[in-house]
């Protein structure tokens, strides 16, 4: 994997993108698949980049751990989102759609909540302008343990 610093020639926005190898960028650019995330233009170029070189190692020093892959970084970000939601939002279980709608309509106090709902209910919430965002399954916080059931 290689990460390139790119720049849109249309709107001058800088951005980064990962490619499977150095030839992959050229092949994708030829096909118009490399586009600016700001304006969508395919008129992009590589920026001048310095190589990522670690300091010198003495013989016998441990080899540094491999850099995080994009998948590992995504998993870390999803865990951070999960942890944030679990620590800042109230878990309302399968009552999520009803509570979110009640808060949206002013029938209940607005507060950050999370829970479960069906795909159809989530779609209706979004279509009706209710501030609700589906989370990827891997980012769903662990459900709180019901202490009453443990006793």
Sequential pLDDT tens for the chain (151 residues): 678 888 999 999 888 888 877 788 888 888 888 898 889 899 998 886 655 544 555 555 554 555 567 777 877 887 787 778 877 888 888 898 899 999 999 999 988 888 888 888 888 888 888 888 776 655 445 555 554 554 4
Give domain limits for the chain. 2-46, 70-150
DSSP reduced 3-state for 73: helix
CB 97 within 8 A of CB 120: no
Flag whether the pTM goes above 0.95. Answer: no
């Amino acid at each position: 994997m290689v990460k390139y610093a790119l720049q849109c020639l249309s709107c001058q926005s800088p951005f980064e993108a990962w490619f499977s190898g150095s030839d992959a960028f050229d092949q994708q650019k030829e096909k118009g698949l490399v586009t600016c995330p700001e304006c969508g233009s395919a008129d992009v170029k590589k920026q001048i980049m310095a190589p990522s070189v670690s300091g010198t190692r003495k013989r016998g020093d441990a080899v540094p751990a491999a850099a995080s892959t994009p998948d590992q970084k995504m998993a870390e970000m999803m865990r951070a989102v999960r942890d944030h939601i679990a620590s800042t939002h109230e878990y309302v279980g399968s009552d999520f759609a009803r509570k979110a709608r009640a808060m949206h309509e002013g029938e209940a106090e607005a507060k950050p909540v999370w829970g479960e709902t069906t795909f159809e209910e989530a779609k209706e919430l979004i279509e009706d302008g209710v501030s609700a965002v589906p989370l990827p399954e891997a980012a769903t916080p662990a459900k709180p343990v019901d202490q009453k059931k443990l006793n």
